[in-house]
Chain A
């Protein structure tokens, strides 16, 4: 028997509506009652959690691990270490790898690789369309059997509304949710930054808010029509928030996700052409940031995620137009959200923040993670909500360095990450 007691922490377990000072007991890798420690002679690991929050292991449901195919950006192993360092015990990886995760064999490869090398739980997603090219349906049923938790063409967006409708209907039968990167290709064109004041000033091709909202609207219509769950990834505009609010009030099975950079920064940041501010969807205007904050506060937007998108220095250090979209985020997202949502703007309390990182994604993906129920796998994140720290880019665990947050001071972070009862990361 192995046992751990996490003592004197504030245990916040939204799944069980629990928030109180307590000890948390782990026996043989699972959450247990204190009475389950039958052999007091054996060594019991003691962890002092006074002044810390003891939370269910956090879930980031939007991560690019880059394997197979792009191991120079990130590997499943290094991405998992970054997740652990950020307080995440479960991460959901996107299928835009090489080859694309659109067959059961690629899913099996990812799962094997994760089992062999990842220190956190890695849950794969499969592509909606073959080769994420938006033209033919992928083998959605077989992908579900192979163990994907969702299907998505993330990074791409199916433009053919009829094809998308069939995907949603089919996914409903199979029982997997759809995650969608909302981008109308005609409206967005070759846009690289938010269409507005700064794109006008700098002469950079604009990515209009309507390019996201048109697809959010499409997804609302299809979720309603097909009575199935569609999740809008990385929502960025005030218009999207308005559409989602109205649809959710009618009970449409639609959810929205927020990434930290879209509330921490505005498009003003692009003025020096630093490609670490280039992401897709792009940084928006202050009015959009304000709308996202309100959407988080009133639960229109229910899920927080990083869209962790590693790229090598030599890939990012090019002309702005030519640089790939995306930034890493696993190791800074919890700090940013705690700092901005809980401390600075006071939009939500820490219990809701934990819920948005646990219960909400677990419910959407129908996975058993994100709870401290007795008998659940002992995935636990210890959080110091008041710890002030500074991001040091070169001390991050990710294999890539493409972050605009180097040197940022923030308040609050994970200090220990426990997966299946084992500490996989400790500050």
Chain B
């Protein structure tokens, strides 16, 4: 593999080639190994400043980026919507330019508007890493999902990956779709017709509203959280009915092949999209995803933030 990384920003998986995605996954291998050492820190980003700029609330992703940056020896500051001047009416552009005036090298952005990372990436010299923009993309989540599948199953091409839940409002789903299709997986989306419109078939995936038909031939099921905060209630009749039709219950889990992986980007709503025992069962790789997320984010920060000076 001679692929090199030449991008300043990581905005999404749609714009990446299969080679670039594989290059990130290979780089992740090296950083995953760092996590098993006694001293879990490398000097790759020493002297660099990373800003975690989270305009939309997040604990898991922010913490993962923060820890990844610490392990790369970067200096890290965290800014959230409530502590930034955005609440005083400052524009996103002005806030970001102020951060750049403080010589921030990498900006990790979580934002409720699709396209916000593109907006900043086009205007700033600093690297912009998309940590989730609206319902658009969440590239590091998809990369850690891809990495986990590759790690557990040894490949991605040819596997049948089933993504279940609120696809319409999910940035995790979109980034996964783009990445999985590029790497040759077969993808089926499952959920109520209101949250999984047929239009998605044009992205090169299959759409089904019958979970029991799909589960027996899945190699991976990735369950998405039902997003209460982004949800207008008329999208489906209620949580009970959702669970009845689309929840991965104990009974349904028996339909799965024994080696089928069960994934979830978290946070889990136990008893809604997944039964508690299933989430904690042998097929579940949910905590491996979290561990791998750290290594993936180290790789991404290293590639985008570190290469300019080395």
Interface stretch among A113-121, A222-230, A313-321, A384-392? A313-321
Q: Please give, as numbers and ranges, the residues of chain B lying within 8 Å of A273 by CB-CB distance.
A: 114-115, 118-119
Known: A318-B92, A319-B119, A321-B114. A202 touches B136 (CB 8 A): yes
Q: Are B119 and A314 closer than 8 Å at their CB atoms?
A: no
Q: Are A321 and B118 closer than 8 Å at their CB atoms?
A: no
Question: Which residues of A from 312 to 333 have beta carbons under 8 Å from B?
Answer: 314, 317-322
Q: Please give, as numbers and ranges, the residues of chain A lying within 8 Å of B217 by CB-CB distance.
A: none
Q: Please give, as numbers and ranges, the residues of chain B lying within 8 Å of A196 by CB-CB distance.
A: 199
Q: Does B225 make an interface contact (CB < 8 A)?
A: no
Q: Does A251 make an interface contact (CB < 8 A)?
A: no
Q: Are B112 and A200 closer than 8 Å at their CB atoms?
A: no
**Nearest 9 A-B pairs (CB), nearest first?**
A273-B115, A203-B135, A319-B113, A203-B136, A321-B113, A200-B199, A320-B115, A203-B114, A319-B116
Interface string of A278-322 (1 = CB under 8 A from B): 000000000000000000000000000000000000100111111
Question: Which residues of A from 189 to 214 have beta carbons under 8 Å from B?
Answer: 189, 196-197, 200-205
Q: Does A272 make an interface contact (CB < 8 A)?
A: yes
Interface string of A387-403 (1 = CB under 8 A from B): 00000000000000000
Q: Are B200 and A200 closer than 8 Å at their CB atoms?
A: yes
Closest to B177 in A: A201
Interface residues on B, range: 20 to 34
Q: Please give, as numbers and ranges, the residues of chain A lying within 8 Å of B133 by CB-CB distance.
A: 203
Interface residues on A, range: 10 to 19
Q: A203-B134, A319-B119 are in contact. List 8 more A-B contacts (CB 8 A).
A: A189-B232, A203-B135, A204-B134, A273-B118, A318-B92, A320-B114, A320-B116, A321-B134
Q: Are A197 and B202 closer than 8 Å at their CB atoms?
A: yes
Q: Are B136 and A204 closer than 8 Å at their CB atoms?
A: yes
Task: Indicate which residue in B91, B174, B202 contacts A203 across the interface (CB closer than 8 Å).
Answer: B174
Q: Please give, as numbers and ranges, the residues of chain A lying within 8 Å of B174 by CB-CB distance.
A: 201, 203
The residue among B111, B112, B119, B174 with the most chain A CB atoms within 10 A of its own CB is B119
Q: Does B9 make an interface contact (CB < 8 A)?
A: no
Known: A273-B119, A321-B113. A203 touches B137 (CB 8 A): yes
Q: Please give, as numbers and ranges, the residues of chain A lying within 8 Å of B199 by CB-CB distance.
A: 196-197, 200
22 A-B Cβ contacts within 8 A? Answer: A189-B232, A197-B202, A201-B14, A201-B174, A201-B203, A202-B114, A202-B136, A203-B135, A203-B174, A204-B115, A204-B136, A273-B114, A273-B115, A273-B119, A317-B91, A318-B119, A319-B111, A319-B119, A320-B113, A320-B114, A320-B119, A321-B112
Closest to B111 in A: A319
Closest to B91 in A: A318
Bound together, the chains give a CA A200 to CA B170 distance in angstroms of: 11
Question: B residues within 8 Å of A by Cβ?
Answer: 14, 91-93, 111-116, 118-119, 133-137, 169, 171, 174, 197, 199-200, 202-203, 232
Q: Please give, as numbers and ranges, the residues of chain B lying within 8 Å of A317 by CB-CB distance.
A: 91, 93
Q: Please give, as numbers and ranges, the residues of chain A lying within 8 Å of B118 by CB-CB distance.
A: 272-273
Q: Are A204 and B114 closer than 8 Å at their CB atoms?
A: yes
Known: A202-B136, A204-B114, A204-B134. A319 touches B92 (CB 8 A): yes
Q: Please give, as numbers and ranges, the residues of chain B lying within 8 Å of A272 by CB-CB distance.
A: 118
Bound together, the chains give a CA A203 to CA B119 distance in angstroms of: 15
Rounded to whole Å, the gap between the CB of A96 and the closest CB of chain B is: 22
Rounded to whole Å, the gap between the CB of B107 and the closest CB of chain A is: 15
Q: Please give, as numbers and ranges, the residues of chain B lying within 8 Å of A203 by CB-CB distance.
A: 114, 133-137, 169, 171, 174
Bound together, the chains give a CA A319 to CA B96 distance in angstroms of: 13
Q: Please give, as numbers and ranges, the residues of chain B lying within 8 Å of A321 by CB-CB distance.
A: 112-114, 134
Question: Which residues of A from 356 to 380 have beta carbons under 8 Å from B?
Answer: none
Bound together, the chains give a CA A317 to CA B115 distance in angstroms of: 12
Interface string of A321-359 (1 = CB under 8 A from B): 110000000000000000000000000000000000000
Question: Which residues of A from 98 to 152 have beta carbons under 8 Å from B?
Answer: none
Closest to A196 in B: B199
Closest to B201 in A: A200
Closest to B93 in A: A317
Q: Please give, as numbers and ranges, the residues of chain A lying within 8 Å of B93 by CB-CB distance.
A: 317-318
Closest to A270 in B: B115
Q: Please give, as numbers and ranges, the residues of chain B lying within 8 Å of A202 by CB-CB distance.
A: 114-115, 136
Closest to B169 in A: A203
Bound together, the chains give a CA A202 to CA B177 distance in angstroms of: 12
Q: Please give, as numbers and ranges, the residues of chain B lying within 8 Å of A201 by CB-CB distance.
A: 14, 174, 203
Q: Please give, as numbers and ranges, the residues of chain B lying within 8 Å of A189 by CB-CB distance.
A: 232
